[in-house]
Amino acid sequence: MATSPKSSGWVASLLRSGYDLVVIIVLVVAVRTIVAAPFYVPSASMEPTLQIGDELLTTKYPFGYSRYSLPLDPGASFKGRFLGKMPERGDVVVFRLPRDPSETLVKRVIGLPGDRLQMRAGRLWINDQILPIRSAGVGQVEADDGTKASAGLYIETLPNGREHPIFKLTDDGPLDDTPVFVVPPGMLFMMGDNRDNSLDSRVPEDQGGVGYVPLENLIGRVDLILGSWDFPVATEGPLWAWPEDLRLSQFFSRVR
């Protein structure tokens, strides 16, 4: 049976729509794989730099690409990094938890391969040198349930001169005095800026911690906060009041 011009036009339109959809999907996957992807902050371990409810823009190209750069993991047979580059101390990064790659974390790179790190009485030492800190007053630490407590706010200076804020509640907590950690080749040492409320590389994998993080596990560098919403506080109030808990000052702010 011959196809009428009207029906053939409808078919052509449908094919074009399908083609456009495929192109859009391919572009989205390519951008999320090569350029950047959004991630959400569910915990307080990186306060005051990142807060619960921050939506992050993570750029993928600074450190090259691994199987964890892909939206879908192709499996352990795809190893190493393509166009790999070592992060700098102080970079805030998103990575896969080594003992459970299905879990994604965000921390700050503190130690590079070969570094010696230790916490002594609440102060961080790198390669046998104590890191300088200066007081920046007092800040509010937010727990996962939305409750807040006052904590000392300090600016810490890394060996490469980069500065970043940290929270300290005490100098004698369980992670304030540690053995010396020597970062193995191909590994990184991660810490949270909320030093007394961060499960990070100070806790070994066999004790439920992060341990050393392979370079392969890096997803990307956090460069921007796209938006922020104080959802633990917001959900306690009526629905119409939730927009009041948007942190507008955090929108499109740089992460350092």
DSSP state of 244: G
The helix/strand/coil state of 249 is helix
pLDDT at residue number 20: 46
Amino acid at 158: L
Q: Which residues of 169-198 are buried (b: 16+ CB within 10 A; e: fewer)?
A: beeeeebbeeeebebeeebbbbbbbbbbbb
Ramachandran bin of 114, using left for φ above 0, alpha for ψ from -120 to 50, beta for the remaining angles: left
Mean pLDDT (whole number) for 136-163: 91
Q: What pTM, to 2 d.p., does this model score?
A: 0.81
Per DSSP, helices labelled H in the chain are: 5-30, 231-234
Q: Which residue has the higher pLDDT, 80 or 64?
A: 64
Q: Which residue has the higher pLDDT, 141 or 70?
A: 141
Mean pLDDT (whole number) for 151-172: 96
Q: How far is CA 83 from CA 34, 35, 37, 86, 132, in A?
A: 12, 14, 18, 10, 34
Q: Which residue has the higher pLDDT, 177 or 10?
A: 177
CA angle (10 as vertex; 7, 11 as ends), nearest 5: 90
pLDDT at residue number 109: 98
User: Which residues are tagged catalytic?
Assistant: 45, 107
Would you place residue 148 in the very low, low, confident or very high pLDDT band (cuts 50, 70, 90)? Answer: confident
**Distance in angstroms (rounded) separating the CA atoms of residues 113 and 110:** 10
Let me know: does 108 contact 158? Beta carbons within 8 Å: no
**Residue 116 corresponds to which tokens in the numbers above?**
């010696």
Mean pLDDT (whole number) for 156-166: 97
Average pLDDT, the chain: 82
pLDDT at 237 over 60: no
pLDDT at residue number 117: 98
Sheet holding 123-126, edge to edge: 129-130, 123-126, 116-120, 181-182
CATH of domain 36-248: 2.10.109.10
CB atoms within 10 A of CB 250: 18
- What residues does each domain of the chain span? 36-248
Mean pLDDT (whole number) for 197-223: 95
Percent of the chain with pLDDT over 90: 54
